[in-house]
Amino acid sequence: MNYFEQLNNKIESKQAKIGIIGMGYVGLPLALEFAESDFNVTGFDIDKNKIPFLNEGKSYIKHIGSERIKNVVEKNKFIATNNFKELENQDILIICVPTPLNKYREPDLSYIENTAKTISENFRIGQLVILESSTYPGTTEEIIKPLLDNPLNEKLRGQSLEVGKDYFLAYSPEREDPNNPNFKTKDIPKVVGGTTKNCLQLAKKLYDQVIVKTVPVSSTKVAEATKLLENIYRSVNIALVNELKIVFSKMGIDIWEVIEAAKTKPFGFQAFYPGPGLGGHCIPIDPFYLTWKAREYDINTKFIELAGEINTYQPYYVVERAVEVLNSVGKTINRSKILILGMSYKKNVDDLRESPSLKLYEIFSSKGANVDYSDPYFPELPELRKYKLNIKSVDLTEENLKNYDLVVLSTDHDAFDYNFILNNSNLILDTRNAFKLNGLANGKVFKA
């Protein structure tokens, strides 16, 4: 049987059954795109709490409307499950699981490894497997391929399968930017690399059904490296403006004014902006995947590591500025009441992954401050891998704001009433230039 032609025909006719593993910020929107394009999609997740939500047509991610989920559920185009035995019934499996760092800032591939093992235990001949998780070059072929060459499924135990003939393997990096008003999943070109020519053709054909443009590359390693380059580029440039922010501040120069002037140049300059630190799953993490892998080749990635040091330092710099601001009015950080505005890693999303606000909370608390937060996207903070804070958001009332010695704006949500905050706060430390951008600035607003 020609498995390539069989799967190719299924994709063209939209008869291919697609299983997406990981119903988070990457997997869920991708599942919806395929389901809305008339594919039958099964969403897999180890979090049992997500399954009834999805099957009832409800969303747990604010920028993804429940109506989208409800529509595809009612049309029987999407179902969620935590029964991984159903993997065997899918034609295509797309892996969208986390790839964090461990406490030593080294790659934690346990999610990919466990997922690959689970697929291998429920594998069948003729399937296409695609990894989308951000990782170092070589992951697809070094970790996933061996488990598919010799699957752990009892029905295939002892068989040696040939990639590109008996099954197909590809890598296509996710490029999600949660709540981006201009670019949704289907609008962002998709880089695709295959283990063989047949693998590449099938993966490209699949994404061609739902994505505006696919960009084929010569190998899975090239596709994996592409994702790292994209985020290392951002990490290094953000580190540059973060360092210049500190230098220019000492010189009495406003970095935001400098950036606004520099970006009037119509070529050769792209604006990046400083902040309280890096957040999100990609930029704070992906560069260290390459740094770790480069050691295997006796290479030290000094440029990447320096950028990481600068960006990691930013929450500490914000706290140093807070100490200076409090000292200017005769107060110490110890026992001061501090309110952090915004806990998500960027504005207008309910995403806490690697948020610098969490680190700010930790540092302020370690210095003896009494710390609270306010964020319309998080009435209370969920339990996270690194943080178990068990605290609730403070309402931004006149009485509450006046009760704090210092308000620290960490995430500049549009939902914040900046004029109200300014009028009712004692001191403000603005890490995003939000008050000036909103035409609000006076003697009690300081920058960090």
Query: Which residue out of 282, 396, 427, 434 is catalytically annotated?
Result: 282
- Whether 432 contacts 407, CB under 8 Å: no
Query: Which positions ≥6 away from 270 have C-beta within 8 Å?
Result: 237, 263
Strands 428-430 and 445-447 come out as parallel
Torsion on CA atoms 151, 152, 156, 158, rounded to nearest 10: 90
Count other C-beta atoms under 10 Å from residue 438's C-beta.
16
Tokens 């996270």 label which residue? 384
**One-letter amino acid for residue 12 of the chain:** E
Tokens 């300081």 label which residue? 446
Give the C-alpha distances (Å, rounded to integers) separating 37 from 15, 78, 428: 11, 11, 48
* CB-count exposure of residue 72 (10 Å: 0-12, 13-18, 19+): buried
Give the C-alpha distances (Å, rounded to integers) separating 111 from 257, 332, 367: 43, 43, 35
Distance of CA 146 to the CA centre of its chain: 28
* CB-count exposure of residue 267 (10 Å: 0-12, 13-18, 19+): exposed
Q: What are 180's two structure tokens?
A: 């981006």
Radius of gyration over every alpha carbon of the chain, rounded to an integer in angstroms: 24
Q: What are 47's two structure tokens?
A: 């979090």
C-alpha 238/C-alpha 271 separation (Å) is 9
- In this structure, what are the phi and psi dihedrals at residue 340, rounded to the nearest 5 degrees? -95, 125
Is 282 among the catalytic positions?
yes
C-alpha 18/C-alpha 341 separation (Å) is 41
C-alpha 50/C-alpha 187 separation (Å) is 26
- Whether 203 contacts 192, CB under 8 Å: yes
Catalytic residue list: 282
